[in-house]
Chain A
Amino acid sequence: MSDRLDHDVIIAGAGVVGAAIAWHLARAGVRVAIIDATGPAAAASGASDGAVSVASKKPGVMARLASASLIYTHDLAAQGPLQAAFAARPAHIFGSGAAELAAMDTLAAKLNHLSGRVRVVADGGPDLLSGLGTGVDRLMTLEGEGHMPGHKAVRAYLAAPGITCIWPAPLLGYEVADGFVTVRLADRTLRAGQLVLALGVSSPDLIPGLPIVPRAGQLIVTDRGPVGALSGSLTAAAYLVAKTQDGAALPLLPVVIDPLTSGQYLIGSTREDHGDPTRVDFATLRRLLTRAATVWPALRDRRVIRTFAGVRAAVSDSLPIVGPLPGADRVTIVTGFEGDGICLSALIGREVARMLCGLSPDAALAADLAALSPVRFSKNRIEGAA
């Protein structure tokens, strides 16, 4: 590419999605820079759980993409950048009452149909998992899924050579002309062949009209204790309902208990229609912990040391937005991952990098990736070039 350019590609947004794209581009020899208004993992990626989970995805596009991303994440962890970030571990799903049990039937059928890496290794009563408390009618254990804290993945990707990191540097605007993109920062402008907008929930700031709304979730961290008491995540089946049936009334609280490698527990979460990460409240904390400690009584010996909220970027049709921005040549938009960005980041990073290098997508995924194109909103008048 040309010397008139500061970088071949500039990525705005150093969340897990931007970082994954940067790593794949750098590995392909592309001169890539990543800028962020604040710093790495400053938004959703630094304030989330990190389930790399197929079970929780809506059947269809999302489940197929998640399944492919999970397999690829395993690869990147085996001998790639995600070695220290990703940990494989079982996933336990529990349910109580008719609605949750039905959701577990649907899950079993979906996994069977996908025939991916995730398998049901046990399905039965609460006695399948020692340490379980009360309020569990059925327990299902899956193998093949894993956990990856967003901030660890971002750090791992950006540690690779060949990525220029620029922060704090908010992207103020951009213009496309004469075969390149001019990117405006507070103290300078940069020229690049292509611009990627991976701004998460802030994307509408640069692309007015993009149908993205904030969806906050509260998370709780406990102090440390004996590691290994719980072998993997313990997720209420209500969570599957929350994630797969838009607007469904939840039978019970969709709590997720995630044992971290540090010996701490991470417990989540809620889906609240606002974008204020400072909103955490005791009533919610108490409701989440009440269900959590009922099914996993060992939590009663722990203390809450931190609570925080993250803000997901939710799209009106619940699908991420990935592809060239209509009307703005050389600008690609990658956002709207709501509660699935960490899970999908590896695959999306690889495929967006291919797209930017002019390569066609993995054939098996071409149709699903096409479904994510922002073209589907063109009628809504999303505007390129802010």
Chain B
Amino acid sequence: MRGDRLMRDSRVLVIGAGLAGLAAAVEIAGAGLPVLVVDQAQAPGGAVHRQPLPGVRSIASGMQRRRWTRLMAQINAQAERIEIRCNTRFGGMDYTGDALLTGDGRALMQPRALVLATGARERVQPRPGWTLPCVTTAGAIQAELKTTAHPPYGRVLLAGSGPLLLAVAAELVRLGRAPVAVIEAGHPFSHPLSALRLPASYLIEAAGYLLRVKAAGVPVLTGAHVLAITPSADGLVVRVNTPRGDRSFGADRIGLHDGIAPNDAGLPVDGPVPVLRLGDCREALGARAALADGRAGGGRLAAQLLGRAAPDPSADLDLQRQAQRRLGAIYAHDGLTRLSDLPSDTVLCRCENRTLADLRALGSNPGARGLRLDGRFGMGPCQGRFCAEWVGRLSTPAGLPLPHIGSNRWPSRPIPISDLVDPSAEGLEP
């Protein structure tokens, strides 16, 4: 490279080998264009179809397995034009159109177009003790179950809000490690079933989870919030506020989950080549929507690149959007209002260990620059991916727009310097 520009690659680069990314790849390759799909994980699958480690049996349901097998068959049918590189991270795309990949598939390339299908991230609201060891997201526990088919060690407690908590709880029951409690901030069961107007598939799935969890005698507390997590002689103690008073639970592993949001921190919005976001990375609507969005988006992109008429948009997406909106209403709760009542030593930014007191010291409405430069919020390795939402809400008077402290500049993830400068780095040599 040495200052010269790279040759434009003929491939479309797809980031994320989950449902949306792979569905897009099938469509793009089907139109005759070569595709490179990369994923940071060890195998394709994404969040929903995360594959077990070699030698581990899959815990996926029959329905899930069928969907995955079908998609992989479509990928294999296009094997000539689709390359999948795992253990490979996307560092970003710069203004010249260079895209950086590090890890096994390290390369600096100029793709013909960029598809971002990096899925969703879990939101975790700060609470005292949320940064302690053995406190992770509920999704991280789910990923562990899928890759190892083994429950985590000891007593597991799940807390936060949303359908994922029960799904993980049911999976734990099935693997013989019933959680000690599920702490749900909303009141999802107080609605008569008929009023939910959810697609039948959602209801059947959710009812199955609830039955299994209840049958195992797991307490499912609704309208309940974790007040604090503290270390104790034998693990962790979780103090919970419920409508009927406070309670305590002992636990060895805690999974927190406060919903999902697009995993788009640090990703480009546009660039010198077409940039497209698909699936949960564009709008967190779940697996069914991701598949449909990936297909439709892939088809649209291929048509655009080949100068053909765009295919009709899919109606499926609207259905999923309505379903997600209803789910949101069903799980509605007042958790956000509790943010400002947190003890002042609660950590907000775990990268730089910045607390609520540090935030308040910046005065009212410090704005994005003040939060970053003076407060050091969003300045650590995660660049605000996890704290931006909460710091924004806490620092901004009601009614004003939230400051944008997360950056949408690369690197979207920290880039190991050794990956960049290693002269043997395949693909990085001029």
List the interface of chain A (C-beta within 8 A of B): 38-42, 46, 151, 155, 222-223, 278-283, 285-287, 289-290, 293-294, 299-308
Contacts and interface: CB of A to CB of B under 8 A. Distances in A.
A301 B420 CA distance: 11
Interface in B377-430: 379-381, 383, 407, 409-411, 414-418, 420-421, 428
A307 B411 contact: yes
Contacts of B418: 293, 300-301
A253 B320 CA distance: 54
A279 B330 CA distance: 45
Contacts of B383: 305-306
A305 B411 contact: yes
B373 A41 contact: yes
B95 A286 contact: no
B91 interface: yes
Contacts of A302: 416-417
A281 B95 contact: yes
A306 B373 contact: no
Contacts of B414: 223, 303-305
Contacts of B417: 222, 289, 293, 299-304
A281 B417 CA distance: 15
**Nearest 3 interchain pairs by C-beta:** A303-B414, A281-B94, A300-B418
Given A280-B409, A304-B411, A286 B373 contact: no
Given A151-B373, A289-B420, A306-B379, 17 more contacts: A39-B370, A46-B369, A46-B373, A155-B374, A222-B417, A278-B409, A280-B94, A281-B95, A281-B96, A283-B6, A289-B421, A299-B417, A300-B421, A301-B418, A303-B415, A303-B416, A307-B409
B381 A305 contact: yes
B381 A303 contact: yes
B96 A293 contact: no
B233 interface: no
A274 to B, nearest CB: 11
B180 interface: no
B91 A282 contact: yes
Contact of A287 (B3, B6, B91, B95): B3
B367 interface: yes
Nearest to B374: A155
B422 to A, nearest CB: 8
A376 to B, nearest CB: 35
Contacts of A278: 95, 409
A285 B73 CA distance: 40
Contacts of B379: 306
Contacts of B251: none
Nearest to B379: A306
Contacts of A285: 420
A305 B372 CA distance: 14
B367 to A, nearest CB: 7
Given A293-B417, A308-B409, A283 B1 contact: yes
Interface in B297-351: none
A144 B428 CA distance: 40
A265 B381 CA distance: 13
Contacts of A286: 1, 108, 420-421, 428
Given A155-B374, A286-B1, A39 B369 contact: yes
Contacts of B95: 278-281
B191 interface: no
B384 to A, nearest CB: 11
Contacts of B108: 282-283, 286
Contacts of B184: none
Nearest to A223: B381
A283 B96 contact: yes
B98 interface: yes
A287 B367 contact: no
B23 interface: no
12 contacts: A39-B370, A151-B373, A151-B374, A283-B98, A286-B420, A286-B421, A289-B417, A289-B421, A300-B421, A304-B411, A304-B414, A305-B381
B171 to A, nearest CB: 33
A40 B98 CA distance: 33
A287 B423 CA distance: 11
Interface string B84-97: 00000001101110
B2 interface: yes
A282 to B, nearest CB: 5
Nearest to B4: A283
